Amino acid sequence: MNNIKKLRENKKLTLMELSKEVQIPNNTLSQYENEKRKPKLETWQALADFFGVSVPYLQGAYSKDEINKKVIASYNEYFEAYNIKKLFLIVQPLNGWTIEDYLIAVGAVPFDTPKTHFLINKDQMEDYDFWKKNLEPIYKNVAVKWLLEKPGINATKEDVLKAVNSAMNTVIAYSSSTTVSRNLGADEIIHFDYSSIAENQFMHKRYNFLDMHEWNDDEELPDGSHQLIPFYDFNHSHPLDGEIYMRDEIK
């Protein structure tokens, strides 16, 4: 479905008022809105210029603003579910952990933040400009580009979040390991324009930061066997040497 009616109503214009503005008969505009008639390319462009949007968006593609708001809503849902201890009820293609790892990868959140979840504060959560700026790299991903450029795909909310999840995981992969940049090669990194993300390696640094603050408890199970229970202590660190460190070794 195209977005002509939505944009017209957002501007609080009647069909007659829009007709006068764009010099198109109101009955013709009604047919356009109800997709009983297709505008010519020059008419699409004239309407897009009037509303200040792209032609694909006018024709029914998603806008960055719409996608950004779906990501924000997804993160807020994760935040609220965690607070009421009902994360198990969240079943969606994009989860809060992926969003937070992505924000670390693009440098929006310091890799050495001494927390394991809810890495952004309330002000950042409510700051649309924060999200708008830091979500920009996902729009280099082919799947997300399609949402912006292909009005005929009729993507659902789930489709949008799946595309964003794929894009975010690509960014996280670039940031996680130098092997990604070595395997893909310089030309491909430049093509995706993720070179700075690959160079900064914030997620790789994040994993190291978590590893050096991970300790373990030795828990005895009812059958007499033992199980290591990991936990994080951000006030104490240990060497990154691949060894397992226990609580009683904390100094």
* DSSP labels, 121-149: -HHHHT-HHHHHHHTGGGGGSHHHHHHHH
Higher per-residue pLDDT: 153 or 203? 203
194, 74: one domain? yes
Indicate the pairing of strand 226-232 with strand 214-220.
antiparallel
Does residue 44 fall inside a structural domain?
A: yes
Range of the domain at 55: 4-59
Of 182 and 224, the structure prediction assigns the larger pLDDT to 224
Q: Is 182 within the bounds of a domain?
A: yes
Spatial neighbors of 170 by CB under 8 A, at least 6 apart, are 141, 192, 194
Statement: the pTM of the whole predicted model exceeds 0.85: no
Q: What is the pLDDT of residue 187?
A: 41
Shared-domain flag, residues 70 and 193: yes
- Clarify whether residues 141 and 194 are in a common domain: yes
Mean pLDDT, the chain, rounded, equals 89
How much is the pLDDT for 113? 97
Contact 79, 125 (CB under 8 A): yes
Looking at the fold, whether 30 and 54 belong to one and the same domain comes out as: yes
How far apart CA 146 and CA 58 sit, in angstroms, is: 15
- Pick the closest to residue 158 from 76, 86, 81, 73 (CA basis): 73
Q: Is the pLDDT of residue 188 over 70?
A: no
Determine the pLDDT at residue 186.
43
Residue 136 belongs to a domain? yes
pLDDT at 145: 92
Residue 191 lies inside a defined structural domain of this protein: yes
**What's the pLDDT score for residue 1?**
84
Q: Do 100 and 139 fall within a single domain?
A: yes
Give the mean model confidence (pLDDT) for residues 76-102. Answer: 78
Residues 196 and 232 in one domain: no
141 shares a domain with 34 = no
Q: Judge whether 141 and 170 are in contact, CB under 8 Å.
A: yes
Please give the pLDDT value at position 89. Answer: 54
Q: Do 77 and 191 fall into the same domain?
A: yes
- Confirm whether 207 is domain-assigned: no
pLDDT at 39: 94
**Do 48 and 135 reside in the same domain of the chain?**
no
b vs e for 110-147, b when ≥16 Cβ sit within 10 Å of the residue's Cβ? ebebeeeebbbeeeeeeeeebbeebbebbeebebbeeb
Q: Is the pLDDT of residue 191 over 50?
A: no
CATH number of the domain enclosing 9: 1.10.260.40
Statement: residue 80 has pLDDT above 90: no
112 and 198 housed in the same domain: yes
- Does 189 have pLDDT greater than 80? no
User: Each residue of 23-76: pLDDT tens digit?
Assistant: 999 999 999 999 999 999 999 999 999 999 999 999 989 999 999 999 999 999
Q: How confident is the model at residue 199 (pLDDT cuts 50, 70, 90)?
A: confident
Q: Does pLDDT of 182 surpass 80? A: no
What is the pLDDT, as a whole number, of residue 60? 87
Same domain, 92 and 187: yes
Do 85 and 179 belong to one domain?
yes
Number of domains in the chain: 3
